[in-house]
């Protein structure tokens, strides 16, 4: 430790600059010092100074560990889940009774004091859970078509079949492998959107060009379901990733067609509002219930599984739209009434 004058202040500043929360605790569990990160992490328990640790965390494990550290001088690591009831403003900001997860290291400083360093791992744990869920969802989604492919390929290779049967089974294999291919393509697209490599894809284009492309890509689908789709571009230029916006609007139009009865009509319009370019896709289809509404933008969520499967959906279309909106600093909004129809509005900034 340098003896030069002024280092006390530097140590204090080093302590303040740490990303880990630091608490210094007496043998009697009283907090005598906390750094800025500790104040941030434990914001709901402020002020920390002079509080007993029991007033901050109601964890028997933490107290036991702390006492053990003072007894034998060996440091301890614990993970702690705390459900704190937030109050007042805090409740509004953080939500009531939020679960938080911490990793803590407790170490003896000297006879009188111990140091607890705290890392808030709530976010890391949540991301980890999302990743685990995604892996399990993807495996599940791929397993169903793969099982069909394997089953029919086995039959094809081991049994005497009529030409008609061979054709029928081959078609099933083709349908299921195309479905797997679509899932993989959508997942790859989502991954590339996650990497956020959009800057170089920005270009000058127009709503007319975008809607013309969407029409070309979705014409076959519309015809096959006898749904008539009208397009009304306003005629404005915009700077965006043309291919991604085409992809997003196309996903909305494909949904509007897929989730409408045969012979129905779909309207696709664009307009400028509050310096945003809006694409509005309106259908008179089956609509979405209030319970399903908050979840339709989640990966693999489908309100109507049978209909989605029949239309060749992957359950990823809307989460792709949401991602594309976000990376353009735009928004996606859905309104719907069960049995009456839906309106999806994708908005992106004009400049
Ligand atoms: N225009 C719409 N009308 C009714 N339901 C819709 C519409 N768009 C989306 N949905 C519902 O939201 C779910 C998720 O949509 P999406 O992410 O595109 O997946 P999918 O591949 O199933 O179409 C669909 O399965 C469907 O239940
Ligand atoms: Mg879809």
Cβ of 282 closer than 6 Å to ligand 1, yes or no, is no
Cβ of 247 closer than 6 Å to ligand 1, yes or no, is no
Asked if the model's pLDDT at residue 88 lies above 90, the reply is: no
- The overall average pLDDT reported for the chain is 91
For a ligand 1 pocket test, name from 225, 255, 291, 337 the mutation site with the most ligand atoms within 8 angstroms of its C-beta: 255
Cβ of 286 closer than 6 Å to ligand 1, yes or no, is yes
pLDDT in tens, 10-33: 999 999 999 999 999 999 999 999
Cβ of 227 closer than 6 Å to ligand 1, yes or no, is no
Q: Where are the domains of the chain?
A: 7-120, 128-195, 198-351
Which of the following CATH numbers is that of domain 7-120: 3.20.20.70, 3.30.1360.170, 3.40.50.300, 3.30.450.20?
3.30.450.20
Q: Can you tell me the distance from the alpha carbon of 181 to that of 258, in angstroms, rounded to the nearest whole number? A: 19
Q: What is the DSSP letter of 30?
A: B
Band of the pLDDT at 194, cuts 50, 70, 90? confident
Please tell me the residue having the least CA distance from ligand 1 atom 23. 313
Band of the pLDDT at 93, cuts 50, 70, 90? very low
Q: Please say whether the dihedral angle defined by the alpha carbons of residues 213, 218, 220 and 222, taken in this order, is positive or negative.
A: negative
Distance of CA 33 to the CA centre of its chain: 37
Which of the following CATH numbers is that of domain 128-195: 1.10.287.130, 3.40.50.1240, 1.10.357.10, 1.10.8.420?
1.10.287.130
State the distance between the two ends of the chain, measured CA to CA, in whole angstroms.
55
Q: What is the DSSP letter of 37?
A: H
Q: Are 215 and 229 in contact (CB under 8 A)?
A: yes
Atom of ligand 1 nearest to the CA of 313: 21
Kindly write down the DSSP assignment for every residue of 101-160, as one continuous string. EEEEEEEE-SSSEEEEEEEE-HHHHHHHHHHHHHHHHHHHHHHHHHHHHHHHHHHHHHS-
> pTM score, two decimals?
0.77
Q: Are 350 and 295 in contact (CB under 8 A)?
A: no
Q: Note the CATH number of domain 198-351.
A: 3.30.565.10
């Amino acid at each position: 430790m340098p003896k030069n004058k002024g280092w006390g202040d530097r140590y204090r500043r080093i302590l303040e600059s740490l990303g880990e929360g630091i608490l210094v605790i007496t043998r009697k569990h009283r907090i005598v010092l906390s750094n800025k990160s500790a104040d941030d992490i434990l914001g709901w328990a402020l002020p920390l100074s002079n509080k007993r640790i029991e007033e901050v965390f109601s964890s028997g494990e933490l107290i036991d560990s702390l006492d053990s550290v003072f007894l034998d001088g060996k440091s301890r690591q614990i993970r702690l889940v705390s459900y704190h009831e937030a109050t007042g403003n805090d409740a509004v900001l953080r939500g009531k009774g939020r679960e938080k997860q911490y990793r803590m290291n407790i170490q003896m400083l000297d006879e009188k004091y111990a140091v607890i360093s705290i890392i808030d791992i709530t976010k890391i744990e949540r991301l980890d859970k999302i990743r685990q869920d995604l892996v399990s969802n993807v495996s599940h989604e791929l397993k169903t078509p793969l099982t069909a492919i394997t089953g029919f390929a086995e039959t094809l290779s081991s049994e005497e079949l009529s030409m008609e049967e061979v054709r029928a089974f081959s078609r099933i294999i083709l349908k299921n492998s195309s479905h797997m291919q679509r899932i993989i393509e959508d997942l790859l697209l989502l991954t590339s959107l996650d990497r956020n490599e959009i800057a170089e894809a920005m270009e000058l284009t127009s709503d007319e060009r975008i809607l013309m492309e969407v029409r070309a890509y979705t014409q076959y689908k519309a015809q096959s379901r006898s749904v008539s789709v009208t397009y009304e571009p306003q005629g404005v230029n915009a700077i965006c990733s043309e291919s991604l916006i085409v992809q997003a609007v196309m996903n909305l139009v494909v949904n509007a067609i897929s989730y409408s009865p045969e012979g129905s009509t779909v309207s696709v319009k664009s307009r400028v509002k509050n310096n945003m370019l809006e694409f509005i896709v309106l259908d008179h289809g089956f609509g979405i219930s209030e319970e399903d509404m908050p979840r339709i933008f989640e990966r693999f969520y489908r309100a109507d599984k049978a209909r989605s499967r029949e239309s060749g959906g992957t359950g990823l279309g809307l989460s792709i739209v949401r991602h594309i909106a976000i990376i353009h600093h735009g928004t996606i909004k859905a309104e719907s009434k069960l049995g009456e129809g839906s309106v999806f509005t994708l908005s992106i900034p004009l400049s």
